[in-house]
Structure 1
Amino acid sequence: KLMKTDIKEKGNIYVLDMELPGYAKEDIKAELKDGYLTVTATKKSETNEGGEESKYIRRERFEGTSKRSFYVGEYLHEDDIKAEYKDGVLKLEIPKEPEPVKEEPKMITIQ
């Protein structure tokens, strides 16, 4: 399975560690839309080294695009999320959604 992710709670944030070995930082995109954080990673196919004389006998390494989405709440802005890619792991720090304030009903005086 691609894009294996660990999610842990750390104080008032969630920390996501996503495995993306073999990807360049430029090939990873993180997008926030409608309360969902979507991570997309694209691995481009390598050109066939050795010219026309060489061909693959077996090809097991993944190439193409992988995508994973997580609901993070609609209150967040992209500036709230911290992202770092190091040693094949994308680390995302996402603030927790604050508890909704329960509004008490207000009585209207009828005259």
Structure 2
Amino acid sequence: MLKTLKFIGIAVVLLVVAVVLFGCFAPVFGGRQSPESLQRIESSPNFVDGEFVNAVPTSVRTVPHANETSIMDWIFQAEDKNPSAPLPSEIFHPEDLTEGKFV
């Protein structure tokens, strides 16, 4: 049992070290730009005062809207969520359908 826990601990530590090293040294994450790339970035019309600005104004939705549900809505459901009686239905007759017309 102790041998298994030691193995799992070493594996977790190695995984964390690998992720940190990848994040620090991968050029996609925080790498330095070449002079040519930096010039292209700075000449972009969307690069203003040292940061990129959206070409189209966007808003961050942090306030829930009335038509959105939350976890609380799933836990505490409305009283009238489920029908009190069976819903009416009609028997489907496929022979009544004509080609290309469903309504």
Q: TM-score, normalised by structure 1?
A: 0.18
Question: Comparing both structures, which one devotes a greater share of its residues to helix?
Answer: 2
| Greater relative CO (CA pairs within 8 A, separation 6+) | 1
Q: TM-score, normalised by structure 2?
A: 0.19
